[in-house]
Amino acid sequence: MFEIVHYTGENPHFDEAIPALLRAVYVDAGFTPPAFAPKGFSVPEIKQRGKILLALAADQNVIGMVIVGTQANPYRQVATVEEAEMQLLGTLPAVRGQGVGEALCRAFEKQALADGLQKAVLSTQPMMTAAHKLYEKLGYVRNPPRDWERNERQFWVYEKILSGHGL
């Protein structure tokens, strides 16, 4: 069992767990350069991105997270002011396949709708095939004209109109 909570940055245990989770998901898997992690995955930087949603195991350990990116997000990649940008979706390898990622995506969508946004957008790397399957299962569609590149790394863009039904 797990629960999804909105995190405001007031728990030292979570403040340690979040960067560790992101290193495991992105750096250890080869998706993010190690040099980015100390600053980019620090809790103060993450809090600038938007609303942090955490997946917590029954023992209150962090097992996953996602960010509902805001238009003020200094890390915003492709979202317009009318779109919520999904960022840093990740689950610990030990809990993959247990519905945590899907629950985080659905919580992201609910929060985006609550914030008055009707469209979601995200960037993903071509080799993140498991993530692509999840996004497509949830109704996200690739939009190649919005794809982009940074530091010789390619990013694909997926988007979805949020209806509020089935969330």
pLDDT for position 19: 96
Structural domains for the chain: 2-161 (3.40.630.30)
Task: State the pTM of this model.
Answer: 0.93
pLDDT for position 37: 87
166, pLDDT greater than 70: no
pLDDT tens profile 84-120: 999 999 999 999 999 999 999 999 999 999 999 999 9
For 53-121, give the DSSP string. EEEEETTS-EEEEEEEE-TT-TT--S--TTEEEEEEEEE-GGGTTSSHHHHHHHHHHHHHHHTT--EEE
pLDDT tens profile 11-67: 999 999 999 999 999 999 999 989 988 888 999 999 999 999 999 999 999 999 999
Find out whether 102 and 64 touch, Cβ atoms under 8 Å: no
